[in-house]
Structures are given as structure tokens and as C-alpha cells.
Structure 1
Amino acid sequence: MTVAASKPRLLVLASTFPRWPEDTEPAFVLELTRRFTQRFEVHVLAPHAPGAAQREEMAGLTIHRFHYAPEGWQTLTYEGGILARLRENPWRAALVPLFLVAEALAIRRLLKHHQFAAIHSHWIIPQTLALRLGTLGLTHIPPALCTSHGGDLFGLQGRMMRALKRWSLRSCRAITVVSQAMVPEAQRLAPHLEPQVIPMGTCLSRQFTPDAGIGREPGMILFVGRLVEKKGVKHLLDAVALLRPKQPGLHLYVAGKGPDEASLNARAKHADLSGHVTFLGGVPQAKLPELYRRASVTVVPSVVAEGGDQEGFGLVIVEAMGCGCPVIVSGLPAIEDIVSGEEMALRVPPGDATALADALEHTLNEPMVAERRAKVALAHVRQRFGWESVGGQYLALLSR
């Protein structure tokens, strides 16, 4: 009788992780990590949140969640991410040391009870910092890969934060970034590593696909994303207000939630926008394709936030293009990895509401031209950003 060899174990560190099937938290880490189960026995460590199980099996993964405060006080993660939650309530900074210590101890416990072949840490801070803290004094530490998504690299500036990031990355054997624009900063922080660019991926074969049976609604403008400063929604609202006298039938749908929701809602109630903006709240991933298929245009108006935080990669762009939706984007460096020319999407200067209004007017007035751009974009993203390509690159790196 032949006994099948067990798979090597992989530990994945995440700052957010879906807590139930309809959770609206970003599902990128879940969907990526699922691809690893073909070669690894995968364990995921993520912070606990009210209503979440402390340990469970999900999509072939073993999920461990650590407590860092009494349940009602665990408000540092989810609902937009740590940086957004801190901006929403600066007093939450008192939870950061508790979070780091709790995660470091949880990592140490898992390393004590399981033999891992490798560790995949998402974000430099807090996950990779917690990994460095949790492995201090240990002699046998699995090789670690850090994936930076942008906010931790471009944000969290200052001498102390940069020193912390450098110190954290000394625990890693490799680092990946999600766009070419992130490479120089990653090299400055970790000169001992050679950053590898692996973009974020999504399902472009079954989920985010066109549907010829769904027609686009004239005047329907769509935004999808967290309601935080770097997403630039306030500039989109101003652009819609500028365009409304010329396009009285337009309507903006905002899918997402976050700390800026109240102020954006208040702006949408002004006379120049009243009745033309609908906030949909958090929309589950499974329901996003229908919105992309109905919209006349999806807008990604990202900007550089006050503290330097900016997009590391615009996954919403890929999702919308995968559904055949025309797109307007900001001309940020990271977005150029997806949109390399005007033949795929219109680009506007970040924060320029007038230019954005002009691009919206052009798209709404010339739907056939917009559809031609969308067809070029669809072929482009299918080739580069499907899970077959992205998941395969991560698997190859982790296997090495």
C-alpha cells in the first residue's frame, strides 16, 4: 500500500481576510491563496473581528484569527484597512502595539506547532514587522516572501517608519510588488533583495466577463472602491457636478464604504448633485460584474493622499475592463502598468475635476468610440491579469 506524501505547509499572513461568503472585504488574498493549495497545505493568519470564527476551514485553507483586544475594541482592521481606520479615529493608534504583539505571539505559536516550508507575508507593516518580532531568537525560521501592495510602501513615511520597514524586510528572502512604479522604493528599503513585479489578479474567465445580454445604461457612471482619500472620490463628485448641466440624465453609483463616506454623502446632497448620486455601500464581489456590465463608464480617479499613500495597483480597472466596460483613470505611475495608452482608456491628471468632467462627457457622448477602447482593453487584461498568469508566478516563486 502506497501512502501519498503530504504537502509542504505554507503560512500566509494577512491584515484582512473575508470572514463569511458575502463579506465585502477585498478578496484578493483569499483568491490568490486558494491557488496555492494545489502544492501546499495552506494556513492563513489574520486578525479577528466581531462575528468571525477564531479557527475555521475555508476554500481548502485553514484560517487562524488572533485577538488583539476585547472583541468590541477590535476596530483597527477591516472596513477600509488600518491606515484608513487610523485616519478615521486617531485614538485607534493605541491598538497598534497590542496588534503587533498579538500577531507576533500568534506567529510564534504557529511556528512552534507546525513545520512550515515557507511564509508569505502581505504588507511590510504590520505583517512583516510582526513576523520579524515573532521570530526573534529562533534558530530555524522558514524562508519568507513579502508582498507589498502600495500603501505600506508609499505611505508610512518618516525616518522612524522607514527604519522599521528596512528592519522588517531583513526577515525576508524575497519581495514582490504589484506594479513597476513600486520597484525603486522597494529597492531603497531592501537593497539585499531584488523586487519582482507580480500584478494583482482576478477571475477573467468566469466572473469578470462581458455579457452581451446586458445593455449599458446611458449616463450610468460607476465608482468601485474604498471611500478613502487616495481613491479621489471627492474629485469625481466635483466632475459630475460640472458635467450635470450638459448631461441632466447622468447618475453616479458609488460602490464601497470607508471613513470618508459621511463627508462624501454630505457633498452629494448639495444642490448641484442632489438626486444624481447613489451610495450602494459595500457590494460583494459576486455582485460587482453586473454593475460593470450595466455602467456606461467606470471611473478610477485616484490621487496621492496627503501622507504620500497612493495606489500600488488598480484592480478595479482590471475587473471593469474584464467585463468590457469603458474606463477613465488617473495618470498615476502604478496605473500605467495596466493602462499603457489612450487606446485602452482615457487618462486624466490626478485631482483635476475639469479634465475628468471632459473625459466623462467624451465617453458618454461617443459610446461607440468608448466601446472600441473597451474591446482593446479586454484583450489586454485577459492576457496579463488572469489568475492563470498571476497565480502561476506566485507559485513558482514560493516553490523556489
Structure 2
Amino acid sequence: MTEQSGVQKVLVIGSVYPRFHEDAEVPWLRTSIAHLKKAGLDIQVLAPAYKGLKSHEIDGVKVNRFRYAPAKWEFLTHEEGAPSKMANKPWLQLLAIPYIISGFFKCIKICRKFKPDIIHAHWPFPHAYIALGAAKLFKIPLVLNFHGAELLLIRKKKWVKPLLKFAISQAQAVFANSSFTAGKIKALRNVDVEWSPYGTTLEFGNRNSEFGMEPHPINNKFKILFVGRHIERKGIRYLIEAAKYLPRESFEIRIVGVGDLTEQLKEQAANVIARNASDEAIQGGSAALPADIIFTGKLSPEALANEYKTANVFTLPAIVDSKGDTEGLGVVLIEAMELGLPIVASNVGGIPDVVIDGETGILVPEKDPEALASAYKRLAAEPELVKHLLVGSQKRIHECFTWDGIIQRQIEVYNKVLK
């Protein structure tokens, strides 16, 4: 429990929050709020409505929904990031004005009644501006939490930069999900930035309780697992290209999830197989066939748990995409580490906060299929290296990515700004 003299009530503001109990939106935010509540804080959430959704409760936490358009148009958030939706449908930008105005007055109304000690605004553009009126009017400290996406808007919309600089200047504390994001904040304004990563949101048990620090058994083939949305910044196309350097009799690539690029990636995988089959025919059967590439689609929690249990390595071949976007942290890496898998990932964005090369996993340059393949081959051939990485990854999780530690540090910052 928190001390009576410290923070007691927090209003958390975000663009997305689960709409119903089974909703899988932002599981890390839901889990963090559950742990804040467990620590003794009284939490309320302010988030936009989705197609007319009214205020409700999730996990015993009141979720205040603000309306900003007719119900049929209230789909600016949820299910896909607002920037992506706006890029595909530019007219949605018109909803940003009523979104901010409606949220602004809803925030004042909530703060007048709830009287929070802290306002914690995630994705400061535009949520800092939803929070500022209430923060000034009721003299409530404002904490901003950056996740990277809002900072990338600066590249496309120059007018966002001064708005973010001003918002940072009005905050009493600033959180960042990774050192990569923190660096971008400091480039805008030289302020202290607290590193506040996420912990795991796994629904199934820790794999290490079953296998300890031993490498997962290799049954016929060394299985390479990717789990995530099929979007450009995940770098899946380079994982598919890596199949060319991995012999089929020894390796298998399993790609879990769906996304805008799924069909394109399946076509690419078929072309990789076809090209190598053609080369084999030309060379009289001497060319090695590439590793099998299996697309599983979206999986149930039970099926996903089985993928982790039968995999030998987890991979995230992320890149800086054509929009300048990349991984802010890579919480899926933390989950894979908790389940006893060694990691191979790209050295971009916030990934190095999780994967320390040679200690908790193997980092490779982005967009380099041969480097990916070499890392997988190395892990398949060196079980002692795998053991070393598994021990290192558990140490890293214990030091940085347990929810108890994350929430304790967060509450310490809350209490500091209240003094």
C-alpha cells in the first residue's frame, strides 16, 4: 500500500483502452493499471469512445469515455493506430479537433469530481492538451508518457514539434518506454526523462518452470518463431529472405499473426521457395532447398502457448520503416525471454534495452537476411551459448522488467512531483 502522505489517486489518459473484458487492446496499459491498483492507488481512466461506447468498468477500474463525433464516426482510435487510419483516410484528421475539445472538457469534469493527485497522460500528442486545462485549473501535477509514435509525427508534420516542446515544458515528470524514445525527447527539450518500460502480459506460465535454463528440445528441426503484426517495421520480409540461407532439413520458420502485409509476405515466401527449386533443377539437384516458412494466422492463447513451447528461438527482425517508425521497446521480446527462448533481433529502436548482444540475446544489423541466418545457425550449433543467454535474459528481466519494480519506480516519481 502507498503511504497516506503520498499519491492516492491517479487519472490515466490514453487514446485506447479495452472496451470489454475480453478486449486485447493495449494489454500492457491494462496490466500496469492493475498493478497500480494492487499497490493501493485509486485509478480512473479517461479514453475516447468507440462507436458510441459509454463509460464503463474494466477490472474494477472506471473507464470514462468521451464522445467526439456521431457514433458511426467514432473509430479514430482502437484496432489500428490513429496515424495509420489518418494516412489511409485523410478526412479523419478533421475529427482531431472535436477529439481534443471534448476530451479537454471531460477531463475537467472528471478532475472536479475525482480530485486526482496526478494526471498521467500517455501519448502526449494530443493527450497533453486534453490534460492541461484540468492540470492548470486544479493545480494537479502532469506526468507525460511517451511511446515513440507521437515523436515520429514530427517528421511528417513540422507543426507538431513546437506543440510537443511546449507540452514537455508544462509537465512535472516525463516517462519514456525506451532509451531510444528518451533520446528523441531530449532532442526536443533537455529535461530529465524516467525510463518506464513494460513488463509481460502473458496469460500462460513461465516456460522456465518446465525446462529450467536448458535449451528447448530440437525435434527434427530448429524452429524459428516470429509473433506480431504483419507490418513493415517488423521486418518480416528479411526473415523470409533469411530462409534461403537455412537448409530445409534442419530449420523451419513459423510466422504468427496477421496484418496488412500478410498476403504480400505469403507471395514473397512462395517466390523464395520457387526460385530455389528452379536453381536446384538447373544445378542438377545440388542446390539446398530453403527452410520451410509456415504462416499460422492469428492463434488462440492455447495455440500460441504451444508455439512458444515448441520453438527454439524467438526473432524480431525489426527495421526503421519508410515512415521512420521502428520498435519503441519490443515487449514481445520480454515475453519470449520469460518463456525460456533465446532471442535474435535487429539492433534498432528500443530493442537494445531488452536484448544486450551476447548477454541476453543476439543483435544483428537491420535488413540483413544473411546475418539473421548466421545467428540462427549459431544458436542451433551452440547449446552452451543458448544456456548462457537464457541465464542472462532472466537476470535482465528481474532487474528491469518485473511489474513490481516498474510500478514501484513509477510511484516514486509520482511522490517526488507531489513534494
Q: Structure 1 155/243 Cα, relative in aligned 2: closer, same or farther at 3 Å? A: farther
Following TM superposition, by how much is the alpha carbon of 1:393 offset from its aligned partner in structure 2, in angstroms?
A: 0.7
- Return the letter of the residue paired with 1:263: Q
Matches within 5 A, 1:52-131: 53-131=53-131
Cα 1:283–1:330 change in 2 (3 A) is farther
Give the aligned partner of residue 44 of structure 2.
43
Task: Using the TM superposition, name which of 312-321 and 177-186 deviates more.
Answer: 177-186
The structure with the largest alpha-carbon Rg is: 2
- List runs of 5+ in structure 2 lacking aligned partners: 275-290
| Contact kept? 2:326, 2:349, Cα under 8 Å | no
Where does residue 160 of structure 1 map in the other structure?
159
Letter of the 2:225 partner, please give it. L
- For 2:397, the equivalent position in structure 1 comes to 381
Change (3 A) 1:86 1:155: same
Partner residue of 2:242? 239
Measure the CA separation in 2 of the matches of 1:306 and 1:200: 26
Alignment RMSD (CA, Å): 3.1
SS at match of 2:121: strand
Match of 2:288 in 1: none
Distance 1:173 1:94 in 2: 31
Contact 2:178 2:329 in 1 (8 A): yes
Cα separation, 1, equivalents of 2:334 and 2:357: 15
- How many correspondences in the alignment? 390
Number of the residue aligned with 2:297? 280
Question: How far apart, in 2, do the equivalents of 1:351 and 1:56 lie?
Answer: 44
Q: Counterpart of 1:310 in structure 2: which amino acid?
A: T
Question: Structure 2: which amino acid aligns with 1:312?
Answer: G
Q: Structure 1: how far apart are the matches of 2:377 and 2:351? A: 22
Instruction: Quote the Cα distance in structure 2 between the aligned partners of 1:95 and 1:283.
Output: 34
More helix by share: 2
Matches within 5 A, 1:1-400: 8-37=8-37, 38-50=39-51, 53-132=53-132, 134-135=133-134, 139-157=137-155, 158-191=157-190, 193-202=191-200, 207-212=205-210, 218-240=221-243, 242-243=244-245, 246-248=247-249, 250-270=251-271, 272=273, 276-281=293-298, 288-367=304-383, 369-400=385-416
Report Cα offsets for 1:46-66 as digits up to 9, x if no partner: 22235x952222223111222
Moved more, 107-116 or 253-262: 253-262
Shift of residue 389 of structure 1?
Answer: 0.9
* CA shift digits 1:254-295 (9 cap, x unpaired): 3334443443344344462897221422765x8754432321
Deviation at 1:337, TM superposition (A): 1.7
| Cα deviation code 1:88-119 (max 9, x no counterpart) | 44443333333333322322322233211111
Q: Distance in 1 between matches of 2:103 and 2:249?
A: 52
Distance apart, 1:249 and its partner CA: 6.1
> For the residues of structure 1 that align with 2:267 and 2:66, how far apart are their CA atoms?
37
State the SS of the aligned residue for 1:212. Answer: helix
Secondary structure of the residue aligned to 1:12 is strand
Residue 31 of structure 1, CA deviation: 0.7
Q: How many angstroms apart in 1 are the aligned matches of 2:102 and 2:254?
A: 39
TM-score after normalising by structure 1: 0.85
